[in-house]
Structure 1
């Protein structure tokens, strides 16, 4: 008996159901089974038993066998070859009788062509027969574009590609405006490991092409094994931002991103952060606008609490609660107004959190330089070489570290130094 039959006994059950629904009588079935797999009285008894079972219940059972393993269709395909059925009729009959219309057509076409050529070897190896380990090793040798092309060959290869981490770690979306048109630029590249610094770029012009980019993005982000070092979304179009978040909200998995760089505002940014797996996100770089309610919601999220660095490039027209930054290592923020209480809170954060390395604040309005020096109790105060900023040191009690403080017209920077 063929090893295929030994390893796939359910293929016989699928064949017998298929033949029963084609109204094959016992004698004709015996002749066909003899051609396919040899004589076996047990198969005839199985056929007789199946005729006594409820058709629709059995069809559901058979359909699940095919869903689990499309190799269970091979004997049905070979049966149609013996009956000299054309491929279109064979596909339609099998789909209609078994009730399975989502089959892998490339795989079906391969076996139909092989059997039609006279090669009835059911054990012929295909990609779907190779071990996942072997196929996975093959996939890992391929670059990103090659893997994406293989996904379109068959569903089996698509599943294998999806089970391996994609060979990329950066995705960047940016908009360029040329004349009256907006062009979406997508950059995908790898920065670590072998074949690093390889980059793939695509430009999308017009809404129809934008949809293609979003569809492709969903394919990538749906892979639970994808882990990005950086994801950049630098888009100012509110329409495209909403479409992007619609894609994000449709995902069934959390995205793994280490560094996020985005222009999204308020609610849309919150939605994006919700889709990122907490604990993977280390760096936040925000350019969008925020209201007080958004900042409060942001500070309650695990994604925020577990990040290490944050930068707000856009001026915040609110006065954020600086206590929300107490767990970070690096902070850079732009505010319209900075109070003395804010500055003292930042000093306190350095005392409470020995992991805080630097806190940079650009401010539209702030206390005078002399007020800051007096309030912080700064010593060794002197001007910088360009005379547009001043430097001072602030000792940290019980530590061999000190705080370096730089005061300029645009703001105040504080960072930790070891003495």
Structure 2
């Protein structure tokens, strides 16, 4: 049958006319043609040429196509063909195509971006976006312009532009795709830029899906700007670097810090996540009691050369063991030998702990059994 149609172009065009007059979408008609008489007999661009003529009522089967040459480009291809093409592109390449035309933008925004790791950093003189380990750097120029560079294209100069606003526009394109589902999202921007980022996030019609989020804070408001814009059902790991959180003995400051930690843990995103990781300057007065409703908690001190004393660890454990939801607690420890001796307590172990191995204790005097591992430099408490 293929040979018969290959030698009879008029018969082939009659099949196309049948599809066109039946208002069958052109690409669907082309697939029907390939299914009936085989692939490779006619290119889609030729099929569409005849289809559009017949759809307009121009039924001359012997028309000489060379008299009406129509230059076609990627803009003219149907969505069904564009999507397989864009499927082969990397996320950064799709972003570049996104800027070409509204039609390509519509096509790309309807697809899963297949982006897994996204990082956004912005300082005083430059911003940086990392798409699955591909960097795009926006550097402020000397004459009011911005230099944009990536390893996917040559450096370009954008006149009368701001590095942060350019980067913010590009990352908003990614955020605006409802099919986006990241494995990790990292955000580190100066405090004076957070409000603009917050505006972009709050403008979304949906919440961003990511398994893990990591961000830095400078003015104690970043968690309220970022976390509510994330889908709590998919968010498993929250990591916050609290740069401005400093240990203090001032009563007013202590109450403010308690209030902040309390508000953080009351957020649905923190309650439903599996692990909350905090990097901050903490001492023994840290309000650990505000974190009893966390499923997982990991504390890391940002104070250089400050060792967490055994007494502080025991105080934290004493409080956290009362939690009904805590599954895992991790804290850095450089004083584990003193901690082991403190738990052994001269033969009267704290919490009736049973040392199953050197530095590994089984705590049974609670509703559920806990395992306490202090055999390495990081303490780990796990509900069994």
TM alignment of 1:7-406, pairs within 5 A: 7=23, 37=57, 119=68, 130=78, 132=80, 134-174=81-121, 182-189=125-132, 199-206=133-140, 208-235=162-189, 237-265=190-218, 266-288=220-242, 289=244, 291-316=257-282, 319-322=286-289, 324-329=291-296, 331-334=298-301, 338=312, 342-349=316-323, 352-353=324-325, 356-360=327-331, 373-374=344-345, 375-380=350-355, 391-396=359-364, 403-406=371-374
TM-score, normalised on structure 2?
A: 0.60
| Alpha-carbon separation, structure 1, partners of 2:322 and 2:165 | 49
SS in 2 for 1:153: coil
Structure 1 residues 256 and 327, CA, compared in 2 at 3 Å: closer, same or farther?
same
With normalisation by structure 1, the TM-score equals 0.55
Say if 1:256 and 1:202 are closer, same or farther in 2 by CA, change over 3 A: same
User: Aligned partners of 2:174, 2:167: CA distance in 1, in Å?
Assistant: 11
Query: What residue ranges of structure 2 are gaps of 5+ in the alignment?
Result: 1-16, 25-55, 59-65, 141-160, 246-256, 303-307
For 1:19-76, what per-residue CA distance to the aligned partner results, in whole angstroms no more than 9, with x for missing partners? xxxxxxxxxxxxxxxxx758xxxxxxxxxxxxxxxxxxxxxxxxxxxxxxxxxxxxxx
Residues 186 and 202 of structure 1 are in contact (CA less than 8 Å); yes or no, is this contact kept in structure 2? yes
| SS of alignment partner, residue 374 of structure 2 | strand
Query: What is the CA deviation profile of residues 282-302 of structure 1, one whole-angstrom value per residue up to 9, with x for unaligned ones?
Result: 111111245333322222222
Cα separation, 2, equivalents of 1:268 and 1:398: 37
CA shift, 1:220, in A, is 0.7
Aligned length: 284
Q: Which has the higher helix share?
A: 1
By how many angstroms is 1:304 displaced? 0.8
Aligned partner of 2:250 in structure 1 is none
Aligned to 2:381: 415
Name which of structure 1's ranges 200-209 and 218-227 shifts more when overlaid on structure 2: 200-209
Highest Rg: 1 or 2?
A: 1
